[in-house]
């Protein structure tokens, strides 16, 4: 194929993904729903009980899209992670969401322990080891107001009238609960939430413990690939899925 044709195809893919990205206030289309298992297992056993606890729960493969580049000079990003496998279960007043996806590189480090003593009292300080590393991460986003009808907020972190909650997990820095009201407004609440992550045979498996969400709530997923220098809006994202 000639380069010109390739470019046209590449740009239409980009255009398409930016159209998906920009969609706001849309209802999830048919087929974009997630069945939620009602489990008799405790939240803790689903979170920490290993794969056996999830055996009976159906998997849905959710397609991932790539956000368009922020700058035209950005390193091009290929669609290395095409989908995420999702399982959800309700139990004990919690909603557990398991995300698993293939990622051949595990981008995570163990951060050095920072001593409790103030740095000025110590001869040795903790050093920055690498300034150019980014880490694998994943997130579950849902509307902060679950009673605001069936309209899903903008995928770009909601807007002023439709704030969103983001349960964010980072392979190096752990779980962080965030809130946002539109692109660029995401802020850490300082709270975290129970999460369990494992990486095995080129596969991440991350279980999020969320508060229970009523049927019909829309949720969306995001995955960041550290080795693709993903962070911020440079990531993989799904469209909204309605919880059954």
Partner 1 sequence: MSKHQYAMVMDLNKCLGCQTCTIACKKLWTDRDGTGYMYWNNVETRPGLGYPRQWDRIGGGWKDGSLQPSPLPTMDDYGHAWEYNYERRLYEGKKQPVMPSPEPKSGVNWDEDVGGMNEDENYFFYLPRICNHCTHPACLEACPRKAIYKREEDGIVVIDQDRCQGYRYCIKACPYKKIYFNEVTGKSEKCIFCYPRLEKGQVNACAAQCPGRLRFVGLLDDPESPVHKLVLVHKIALPLFPEKGTQPNVFYVPPFNPPKRGNYGSSIQDGPRVPLDYLIYLFGPDVKDVITRLEAELKKTQEGGRSEALQLLIGRDAETRFHVRPQLVQIQL
Ordered alpha helix ranges (H), 76-220: none
- Asked if 232 interacts with partner 1 (CB under 8 A), we say yes
- Asked if 231 interacts with partner 1 (CB under 8 A), we say yes
Stretch that binds partner 1, among 41-49, 181-189, 194-202, 216-224 (CB under 8 A): 181-189
Q: Give kind and range of the element (H or E) at residue 138.
A: strand 137-143
User: Which of 62/176 has CB closer to partner 1?
Assistant: 176
Contacts of residue 172, Cβ cutoff 8 Å, sequence gap at least 6 = 108, 109, 110, 111, 135
Residue 110 neighbours by CB distance under 10 Å: 6
- Asked if 79 interacts with partner 1 (CB under 8 A), we say no
Q: Which of 5, 40, 128, 201 binds partner 1 (CB under 8 A)?
A: 128
Q: Which of 184, 198, 202, 244 binds partner 1 (CB under 8 A)?
A: 184
Q: Write the DSSP string, 47-83.
A: HHS-GGGGTTSPPEEEE-EEPPPSSTTSPP------E
Give the Cα separation of 136 and 229 in Å (integer): 9
Stretch that binds partner 1, among 80-88, 106-114, 139-147, 203-211 (CB under 8 A): 106-114
β pairing state of 60-63 and 83-91? antiparallel
User: Which of 129/147 has CB closer to partner 1?
Assistant: 129
DSSP class of 17:
H
- Asked if 174 interacts with partner 1 (CB under 8 A), we say no
Q: Which of 173, 191, 198, 202 binds partner 1 (CB under 8 A)?
A: 173
- Asked if 129 interacts with partner 1 (CB under 8 A), we say yes
- Asked if 116 interacts with partner 1 (CB under 8 A), we say no
Q: How many residues sit in the footprint of partner 1 (CB under 8 A)?
A: 27
User: Which of 92/233 has CB closer to partner 1?
Assistant: 233
Burial of 49 (0-12, 13-18, 19+ CB in 10 A): middle
User: Which of 29/111 has CB closer to partner 1?
Assistant: 111
Q: Write the DSSP string, 80-108.
A: ---EEEEEEEEETTEEEEEEEEE-SS---
- Asked if 38 interacts with partner 1 (CB under 8 A), we say no
- Asked if 61 interacts with partner 1 (CB under 8 A), we say no
Do residues 23 and 155 touch, judged by C-beta distance below 8 A? yes
- Which residues of the shown chain bind partner 1 in the complex (CB under 8 A)? 70-74, 111-112, 114, 119-120, 124-132, 173, 183-184, 186-187, 231-233
């Amino acid at each position: 194929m000639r380069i010109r044709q390739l470019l046209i195809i590449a740009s239409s893919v980009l255009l398409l993904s930016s159209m998906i990205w920009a969609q706001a206030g849309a209802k999830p289309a048919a087929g974009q729903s997630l069945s939620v298992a009602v489990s008799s297992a405790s939240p803790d056993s689903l979170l920490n009980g290993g794969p056996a606890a999830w055996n009976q729960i159906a998997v849905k493969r959710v397609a991932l899209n790539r956000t368009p580049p922020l700058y035209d000079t950005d390193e091009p990003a290929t669609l290395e992670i095409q989908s995420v496998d999702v399982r959800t279960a309700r139990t004990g007043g919690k909603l557990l969401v398991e995300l698993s996806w293939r990622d051949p590189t595990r981008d995570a480090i163990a951060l050095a322990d920072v001593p409790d003593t103030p740095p000025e009292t110590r001869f040795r300080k903790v050093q920055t080891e690498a300034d150019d590393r980014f880490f694998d991460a994943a997130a579950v986003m849902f509307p902060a107001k679950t009673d605001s009808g069936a309209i899903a907020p903008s995928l770009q972190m909601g807007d002023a009238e439709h704030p969103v909650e983001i349960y964010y997990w980072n392979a190096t820095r752990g779980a962080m609960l965030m809130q946002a009201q539109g692109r660029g407004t995401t802020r850490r609440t300082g709270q975290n939430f129970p999460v369990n992550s494992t990486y095995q045979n080129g596969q991440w498996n991350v279980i999020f413990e969320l508060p229970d969400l009523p049927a019909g709530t829309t949720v969306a997923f995001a995955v960041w690939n550290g080795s693709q220098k993903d962070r911020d809006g440079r990531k993989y994202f799904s469209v909204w899925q309605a919880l059954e």
